[in-house]
Amino acid sequence: MLTMAITLVMVLGSTAGFAMGAIITNGDMSDTSSLTWTISSGAIDGVLVPGERQATTTYGDSTYASGGTSRFMKTFSLDTRGMSQNQYNVNSLKMFSFDGSSTGGSAVSSEQIGVETMGMPGPNDTWSAYHNTVNAGSSVAIQQGSLVTEAQARTVGAYPGGVPVALNYGINLQGLDDEPAVGSAGAFMNAHLQQGRGNSTEPSSDIIFSQQSSARGSIFRFAKTVSYTSG
């Protein structure tokens, strides 16, 4: 966990969307999705003015299988309202199993979620300038296996000063029918966190973090969870 005493809170108009899909097939299947959502306390015009706070959430997912039996289910939601603790603006849950052991088939799946937050204090603000970027995700390439991933991000809090920016990501890959998964898997998290001091726009704190895990061959279990909260 990386912790910074930064909170992004904006009360704007809200939208909500929910998507759910399920696929069961012998042969080929594919599913892709992407999201870029930017929200600001001012105008989204490429210029950060004093007193403005801005956040961008990105999400991308791609799954493709060929020459085997696939079972795929995914739920995805975006809700731009202010969220309380343990609530998130972006939620994704994916469950995917594939068996190409008898047909020579293969499947690949990759996913990424990220948040970027920045703020420029005004003359009467007590908080300092900041610019934080955090990303996490995974990729797998298997001949057989069962995969579950979950991605969550929160950039809009329900009330000022009480609910920080957060990002969570988890992956679990294991085999089918008491056999190991066969193939490769990897997961990562990286972050670049900068914060000023007082009314200065120059960074007084600069943290760069990167972590990766991978496995290849007969994989009995590959499990990883990462999380970030800004304060």
Q: Phi and psi for 49 in degrees, rounded to 5?
A: -95, 160
pTM: 0.88
Per-residue confidence at 15, pLDDT binned at 50, 70, 90? low
**Burial group, residue 43, by CB count within 10 angstroms (0-12, 13-18, 19+):** exposed
Per-residue confidence at 200, pLDDT binned at 50, 70, 90? confident
Q: What is the pLDDT of residue 126?
A: 86
Give me 47's structure tokens: 């210029």
Instruction: For residues 104-110, give the mean pLDDT.
Output: 97
The structure tokens 């929160």 sit at 154
Q: What is the pLDDT of residue 18?
A: 62
The structure tokens 């994704």 sit at 92
Q: What is the pLDDT of residue 179?
A: 94
Instruction: For residues 140-168, give the mean pLDDT.
Output: 92
Q: How far is CA 30 from CA 21, 62, 199, in A?
A: 12, 8, 50
Distance CA(39)–CA(42), nearest Å, equals 9
Q: What is the pLDDT of residue 21?
A: 63
Instruction: For residues 72-80, give the mean pLDDT.
Output: 95
44 pLDDT more than 50: yes
Per-residue confidence at 4, pLDDT binned at 50, 70, 90? very low
Rg (CA), the chain: 20
Instruction: For residues 154-178, give the mean pLDDT.
Output: 90
Per-residue confidence at 167, pLDDT binned at 50, 70, 90? very high
Q: Which residues have a Cβ under 8 Å from the Cβ of 41 and sit 6 or more positions away?
A: 10, 51, 52, 53, 54
Distance CA(208)–CA(56), nearest Å, equals 19
